[in-house]
């Protein structure tokens, strides 16, 4: 009996900025978008915990080739935190492991505590995280009651703003570098105040160039899908939008040809180093290039523009 060939999805490329709801995994959100678009390929650009909400860029088709660059981007979050209780997970889903009296804390006291964490700091990742230890995810070990030593990592907190404060709860907005755990930040703030803390809610507001105003919820996406696939396609951002921090370079027809064959090319006016967005003379995005040690423009991650349309 012959095996039935799996039907391929659409060759559709672009980035959808999803507003992930609480209770949905990042992979579940990804599969929801992929199904609605009937896309042949999809990937997200940085995991959000199941209880967390907010910005999750989903890359479709050839846009998955730029997703790795978004993983390195800075992020912004809003978190509501509770003082006096520490949990196994650092958030409200975990079991309380330590309860302490909350001292008399003023808004000024809290803001002074924040100052300790602004700038480049070291942070120890939580056990309930997707980082690996000897090939195992830390959260897999944590669920078995196993705790291992984790090395502190350098992170940067660019801004830490107090939004709201009551006796034992406060809300903050944080802009930070990649690899920052807001759960750990809340715990560390609580420790500095002598009473511990955990987060009640967490929402991602920004990742690289993507902002809260661009987000769309899965329910709204479903409603638009019922109007037809063309309406869905209009929601997609071009894949080079994710790379707007990279300088751009435009190539002649000949240079674009050789670069797309995998060859480095000589281009005048290049920076001394770094990655660039590459376009041909028809303003078609070709992918990401990198300045080599000898000053040539070398291909780094190229787009197959034959696979960026909407054909089946």
At 125-153, the pLDDT tens digits run: 988 888 888 888 888 888 888 888 899 99
Instruction: Give the residue-averaged pLDDT of 191-199.
Output: 96
Tokens encoding 253 = 């027809």
- Spatial neighbors of 136 by CB under 8 A, at least 6 apart, are none
* Per-residue pLDDT tens over the stretch 15-58: 999 999 999 999 999 999 999 999 999 998 888 989 999 999 99
* Per-residue pLDDT tens over the stretch 228-280: 999 999 999 999 999 999 999 999 999 999 999 999 999 999 999 999 999 99
- pTM, to two decimals: 0.90
CATH number, domain 14-72+210-240? 3.30.2350.10
CATH class of 247-307: mainly beta
Domain 75-204 of CATH type 3.30.2350.10: yes
Instruction: Give the residue from 295, 245, 299 showing the smallest Cα distance to 269.
Output: 295
Tokens encoding 189 = 């703030």
Q: Please tell me which residue in 19, 49, 91, 240 is annotated as part of the active site.
A: 49
What's phi and psi for 172, nearest 5 deg? -130, 155
Tokens encoding 64 = 């998955």
101 is catalytic: no
Q: Where in the chain is the domain with CATH 3.30.2350.10?
A: 14-72+210-240, 75-204
**Which residues, listed in sequence order, are joined to residue 298 by a DSSP beta bridge?**
290
Q: Where in the chain is the domain with CATH 2.30.130.10?
A: 247-307
Instruction: Give the residue from 285, 281, 274, 289 showing the smallest Cα distance to 251.
Output: 281
Instruction: Give the residue from 75, 50, 57 showing the smallest Cα distance to 19.
Output: 57
- pLDDT value, residue 1: 47
């Amino acid at each position: 009996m012959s095996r039935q060939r799996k039907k391929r999805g659409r060759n559709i490329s672009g980035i959808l900025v999803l507003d992930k709801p609480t209770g949905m995994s990042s992979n579940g959100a990804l599969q929801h978008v992929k199904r609605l678009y009937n896309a042949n390929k999809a990937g997200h650009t940085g995991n959000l915990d199941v209880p967390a909400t907010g910005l999750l860029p989903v890359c479709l088709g050839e846009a998955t080739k730029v997703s790795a660059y978004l993983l390195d981007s800075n992020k912004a979050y809003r978190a509501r935190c509770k003082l006096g209780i520490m949990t196994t997970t650092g958030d409200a889903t975990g079991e309380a492991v330590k309860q302490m009296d909350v001292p008399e804390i003023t808004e000024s006291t809290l803001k002074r505590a924040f100052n300790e964490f602004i700038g480049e700091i070291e942070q120890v990742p939580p056990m309930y995280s997707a980082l690996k230890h000897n090939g195992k995810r830390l959260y897999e070990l944590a669920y078995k009651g196993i705790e291992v030593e984790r090395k502190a990592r350098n992170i940067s907190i660019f801004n830490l703003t107090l939004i709201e404060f009551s006796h034992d709860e406060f809300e903050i907005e944080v802009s930070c570098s990649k690899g920052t755990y807001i759960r750990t930040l809340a715990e560390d703030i609580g420790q500095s105040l002598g009473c511990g803390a955990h987060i009640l809610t967490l929402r991602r507001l920004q990742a690289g160039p993507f902002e809260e105003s661009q987000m769309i919820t899965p329910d709204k996406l479903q409603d638009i899908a019922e109007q037809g696939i063309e309406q869905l396609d209009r929601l997609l951002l071009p894949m080079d939008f994710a790379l707007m921090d990279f300088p751009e370079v435009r190539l002649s027809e000949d240079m674009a040809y050789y670069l797309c064959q995998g060859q480095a090319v000589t281009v005048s006016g290049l920076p001394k180093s770094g990655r660039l967005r590459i376009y041909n003379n028809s303003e078609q995005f070709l992918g990401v290039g990198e300045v080599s040690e000898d000053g040539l423009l070398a291909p780094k991650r190229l787009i197959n523009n034959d696979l960026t349309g909407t054909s089946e």
